């Protein structure tokens, strides 16, 4: 049963289960609702890099921190489509374009992003964007251009959020998510662990996600990538068991969502990643770069998939399953 009324105490009870019992329960939910051999393969491209006005303390692209990220204005459409083609040939079915913007403005850059969306959509890939805050009419324009999904993370709990970001509010994030949902775009929304939050903050973030009117179709769980020059550069490395616990709890709360083992894989061994798949992760970012930081290569991931008996999920699988379940109602 899909529930949107999870209480904090119930989530805490799941989150605090002995680790192997938690993984067992999550794996059971996973095989009840999903094909456990299938993993969605997404590729990210930073189409506008660095120079961002925000103060997100984890982010290497914020202009105010002195990181090694080179500022790059919005890429040309042709070049982006070449990257998308390469990602498709390497087996990706979702292509996600990221821009270091606070919000979308109605200008020529946005028109160019709409062209990119049309181009990637025409290649038969699921096209996703993460461009910051959106108005309702911008969400509709993206949907009309063929945008399949929009990524906008809550990042952490409502309570801890102000410790991490001061230049925008949690409610603004939730408003954008509402605009995306109402425009009929698939919602991709998750968070980061390792920011210095407590277990309670993680539980509260999971509660916010799992009590949205509809669960996000994708829930990325990122381990903080500690980038030199950001305020969080000296945070301790995320413990693998914390990642497993987070993924397993997300899987139990949101049985049908794609739970994405997102940032942080470059610092994880294959056995560690295998544990995350066991705990219900069924999506990854592939390709040797996330937005600005390293990630395992396509070759390494293909070898891992071979070893673990995993297959890349076909494109539009989520949409097809949703249509089928609506037919059955
Ligand atoms: N500027 C837009 C925004 O903030 O919505 C889109 C791009 S932003 C880089 C997308 C997401 O990447 C953030 O919300 C955050 O969850 C994640 N992210 C950024 N830097 C990260 C890091 N160092 N480690 C892990 N995740 C990170
Ligand atoms: C998400 O949840 N993680 C991705 C994607 N959505 C946009 C971004 C991770 C960024 C990691 C730091 C970087 O490479 O700059
Ligand atoms: Fe800018 Fe997004 Fe990075 Fe925040 S997370 S600084 S909004 S690019």
**Residues listed for the chain:** 329
Burial of residue 106 (number of CB atoms within 10 Å: 0-12, 13-18, 19+): exposed
d(CA 11, CA 5): 11
Please report the atom of ligand 3 found closest to the CA of residue 59: 3
Using the atom order of ligand 1, give the atom closest to the CA of residue 58. 23
Coil, helix or strand for 232? coil
Whether 189 sits among the annotated catalytic residues: the reply is: no
Contacts of range 316-319, beta carbons closer than 8 Å, 24 or more positions apart: 316/93, 316/126, 316/148, 317/38, 317/40, 318/186, 318/217, 318/258, 319/148, 319/186
* Centre of ligand 3 from the C-alpha of residue 61, in Å: 6
Active site residue 59: yes
**Angstrom distance (rounded) from CA 220 to CA 42:** 11
Q: CB of 209 closer than 6 A to ligand 3?
A: no
- What is the spatial distance between Cα 91 and Cα 202, in angstroms, rounded to a whole number? 33
Q: What is the pTM assigned to this prediction?
A: 0.96
Closest alpha carbon to 301 in 41, 12, 53:
41
**Whether 175 contacts 218, CB under 8 Å:** no
Separation between Cα atoms, residue 254 and residue 143, nearest integer Å: 25
Residue 188 alpha carbon to ligand 3 centre in Å? 16
* Topology of domain 38-328, CATH: TIM Barrel (3.20.20)
- What digits encode the pLDDT tens for the residues 244-264? 999 999 999 999 999 999 999
Distance, CA 184 to ligand 1 centroid (Å)?
23
245 is catalytic: no
- In angstroms, the CA 88 to CA 123 distance is 8
pLDDT digits (tens, 9 = 90+) for 77-110: 999 999 999 999 988 999 999 999 999 999 999 9
Which atom of ligand 3 is closest in space to residue 61's alpha carbon?
Answer: 3
Could you tell me if 325 and 256 are in contact, meaning their C-beta atoms sit under 8 angstroms apart? Answer: no
Domain ranges of the chain: 38-328
Q: Regarding beta strands 311-312 and 38-48, do their DSSP bridges make them parallel or antiparallel, or are they unpaired?
A: parallel
Catalytic position from the list 96, 129, 189, 276 = 96
Answer yes or no: are the C-beta atoms of 230 and 62 closer than 8 Å.
Answer: yes
How confident is the prediction along the chain (329 residues), in pLDDT tens digits per residue?
A: 899 999 999 999 999 999 999 999 999 999 999 999 999 999 999 999 999 999 999 999 999 999 999 999 999 999 999 999 999 998 899 999 999 999 999 999 999 999 999 999 999 999 999 999 999 999 999 999 999 999 999 999 999 999 999 999 999 999 999 999 999 999 999 999 999 999 999 999 999 999 999 999 999 999 999 999 999 999 999 999 999 999 999 999 999 999 999 999 999 999 999 999 999 999 999 999 999 999 999 999 999 999 999 999 887 777 777 777 777 65
- Among 59, 133, 134, the mutation site with the greatest number of ligand 3 atoms within 8 A of its Cβ is 59
Whose C-alpha lies nearest to ligand 3, atom 4? 56
Please list, in sequence order, all residues whose beta carbon lies within 8 angstroms of the beta carbon of residue 182, skipping any fewer than 6 positions away. 136, 139
d(CA 153, CA 164): 13
For every residue of 168-229, DSSP letters joined together read: S-HHHHHHHHHHHHHTTPEEE--EEE-SS--HHHHHHHHHHHHTSSS--SEEEEEEP---TT
Q: What's the rounded Cα separation, in Å, for the pair 27 and 37?
A: 12
In three-state secondary structure terms, 92 is: coil
């Amino acid at each position: 049963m899909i529930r949107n009324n999870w209480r904090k105490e119930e989530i805490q009870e799941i989150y605090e289960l002995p680790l192997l019992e938690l993984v067992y329960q999550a794996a059971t939910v996973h095989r009840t609702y999903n094909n456990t051999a299938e993993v969605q393969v997404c590729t990210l491209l930073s189409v506008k890099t660095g120079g961002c006005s925000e103060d997100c303390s984890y982010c290497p692209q914020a202009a105010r921190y002195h990181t090694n990220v080179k500022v790059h204005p919005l890429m040309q459409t042709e070049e982006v489509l070449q990257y998308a083609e390469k990602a498709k040939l390497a087996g990706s079915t979702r292509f996600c374009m990221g821009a270091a913007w606070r919000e979308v403005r109605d200008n020529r850059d946005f028109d160019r992003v709409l062209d990119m969306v049309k181009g990637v959509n025409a290649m038969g890939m699921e096209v996703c964007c993460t461009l910051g805050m959106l108005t309702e009419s911008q969400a509709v324009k993206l949907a009309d251009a063929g945008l399949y999904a929009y990524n906008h993370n809550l990042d952490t709990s409502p309570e801890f959020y102000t410790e991490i970001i001061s230049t925008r509010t949690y409610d603004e994030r939730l408003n954008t998510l509402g605009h995306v949902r109402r425009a009929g775009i698939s919602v991709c929304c998750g968070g980061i662990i390792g920011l210095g939050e407590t277990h309670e903050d993680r539980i509260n973030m999971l509660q916010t996600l799992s009590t949205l009117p509809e669960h996000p179709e994708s829930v990325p769980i990122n381990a903080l990538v500690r980038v030199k020059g950001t305020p969080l550069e000296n945070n301790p490395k995320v413990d693998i068991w914390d990642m497993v616990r987070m993924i397993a709890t997300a899987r139990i709360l949101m049985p049908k969502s794609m739970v994405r083992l997102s940032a942080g894989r470059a610092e994880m061994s294959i056995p560690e990643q295998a544990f995350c798949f066991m705990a219900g992760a069924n999506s990854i970012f592939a390709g040797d770069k996330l937005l600005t930081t390293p990630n395992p290569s396509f070759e390494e991931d293909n070898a891992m998939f071979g070893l673990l008996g995993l297959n890349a999920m076909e494109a539009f699988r989520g949409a097809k399953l949703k249509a089928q379940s609506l037919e059955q109602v």
